[in-house]
Amino acid sequence: MSLIPENRLAELSGDDVKRYSRHLILPEVGWEGQQRLKAAKVLIVGTGGLGAPLALYLAAAGVGTLGLVDFDTVEASNLQRQIIHSTRDIDRPKVASARDRIRGINPDIKVITHNTRLSSANALEILRNYDVVADGTDNFPTRYLVNDACVLLGIPTVYGSIYQFEGQASVFYAKKGPCYRCLYPAPPPPGLVPSCGEGGVLGVLPGIIGCIQANEVIKLIVDADEHEGRSLIGRLLLFDAWQLKFRELALDKEPACPICGEQPTIHDLVDYEEFCGLKREEAEVPVKAISARDLKARLDAGDRIQLIDVREPHERAIFQFEGAKAIPFGQLIRRKEEFNPEIDAVFICKIGQRSIYAIRALRDAGYTGRMFNLKDGSNAWARDVDPSLPQY
């Protein structure tokens, strides 16, 4: 059965015929396909790197109702990739900025903004009003939340995800194929797989993956599978922007999947922070912290301290930490013999987060010396001790 049944097909006006003529003369879309697009309600979760091209192209294509969920405001560092926002939008809510841009492209689109965090408390209420959900979120708890809500409501999720140069895309539709939990039953614990905030992302990458998502949204609405097309249901597309390589992997529905499998055990939304280990993390053995000012005072007093800079070489090129030994995060365990457990060690990264994971990794690997985390990282040093150095 089609996502947009016959009785919901929308009337096309004379203006619609002009605007969408390139769709109308495409036999696989045609009049009926455009009627479906006009009737369709699509929710875009996140108006960041993936949400930007999604919203722009779906608006241009004539998707009648676009919902936008985001709680964030536009920052200067977003503009490198989130092309729906402009320089003058800095500090505005992202959903407001995106709505204005959509109206400029296509004033006929109904835009519903949800300036809120998607949560277990509001997700079903929001998502149930839509035909398709496009997932452009940037964190694991929300991904599992969106997946579970869509499975429970019987809605397809058009999935996209990015890291540095690599992207993934698929369509998760439990009625016809696997869901996100079939692919990844559990998320990485915090700190195991780094995220873009410290890992960086090539600005064009979310543009490419977001466009693939927009393509899949349109195909679901116009029922491409019934017109010799093939959706990404049951397939995982991998894209490497640096080597310019597309690869496709088969995704199977997991019979033991706890939400879409043969004997589901999840019948309602859960606590996704807890599921993703964010609460567990707080219960772990705490890591000792030292502020930038206190570290400076100890160094000035002549204390013996091993300073370990766990940032990557390209980061050290932006900001060289004087007197620190450089051992990138990914080489700490292999090189742990280079530390002296008799002397206090202070670990330095950009914002004081990787350094915490560095200390935990070394502790797990059996290092016994005293370890401190430079609170808020090299950015705090630049802010509080040596303003001639850059915060980046």
Partner 1 sequence: MSVTIQIPSALRAFTERKSEIAVEAKTVGEAITALTNLYPDIRPHLFEEEGKLRSFINVYVAGKNVRNAGGVEAAIPDGETLTLVPAIAGGAPLGVRL
260 binds Zn ion (CB under 5 A): yes
Choose among partner 1, Zn ion, none what residue 238 binds, the Cβ cut-off being 5 to 8 Å by kind. Answer: partner 1
Choose among partner 1, Zn ion, none what residue 156 binds, the Cβ cut-off being 5 to 8 Å by kind. Answer: none
Cβ neighbours of 236 (radius 10 Å): 17
Cα distances (angstroms) measured from residue 130 to each of 4, 45, 64, 157, 221: 11, 12, 11, 11, 12
Bridge-based pairing of strands 157-163 and 166-172 is antiparallel
Nearer to partner 1, 41 or 181 (CB): 181
Q: Which residue is nearest to Zn ion (CB)?
A: 257
Task: Please select the residue that binds Zn ion; options are 118, 146, 257, 346, rule is CB under 5 A.
Answer: 257
Choose among partner 1, Zn ion, none what residue 225 binds, the Cβ cut-off being 5 to 8 Å by kind. Answer: none
Residue 288 corresponds to which tokens in the numbers above?
Answer: 């000792």
Q: How many CA atoms lie within 13 A of 121 on its CB side?
A: 2
Instruction: Pick the catalytic residue from 196, 257, 260, 276.
Output: 196
Place of tokens 């401190």: 372
Per DSSP (E only), the strands in 124-270 are 132-135, 157-163, 166-172, 235-240, 245-250
Residue-by-residue DSSP string for 48-67: STTHHHHHHHHHHHT-SEEE
Judged by the rule CB under 8 A, the positions of this chain that interact with partner 1 are: 46, 48-50, 117, 119, 137-143, 145, 161-166, 168, 183-188, 190-199, 201, 206, 236, 238, 240, 242-243, 247-252, 254, 272-273, 278, 312, 328-334, 351, 353-354, 357, 361, 364
> Is 196 designated active site?
yes
Residue 23 corresponds to which tokens in the numbers above?
Answer: 């769709």
Task: Please select the residue that binds Zn ion; options are 36, 81, 181, 350, rule is CB under 5 A.
Answer: 181
Choose among partner 1, Zn ion, none what residue 31 binds, the Cβ cut-off being 5 to 8 Å by kind. Answer: none
Choose among partner 1, Zn ion, none what residue 387 binds, the Cβ cut-off being 5 to 8 Å by kind. Answer: none
Cα distances (angstroms) measured from residue 195 to each of 143, 242, 277: 14, 18, 15
Closest distance of CB 68 from partner 1, Å:
16
> Is 349 designated active site?
yes
How far apart CA 308 and CA 302 sit, in angstroms, is 17
Closest distance of CB 212 from Zn ion, Å:
21
Residue positions annotated with a catalytic role: 196, 349
Interface residues with Zn ion (CB under 5 A) are 179, 181-182, 257, 260
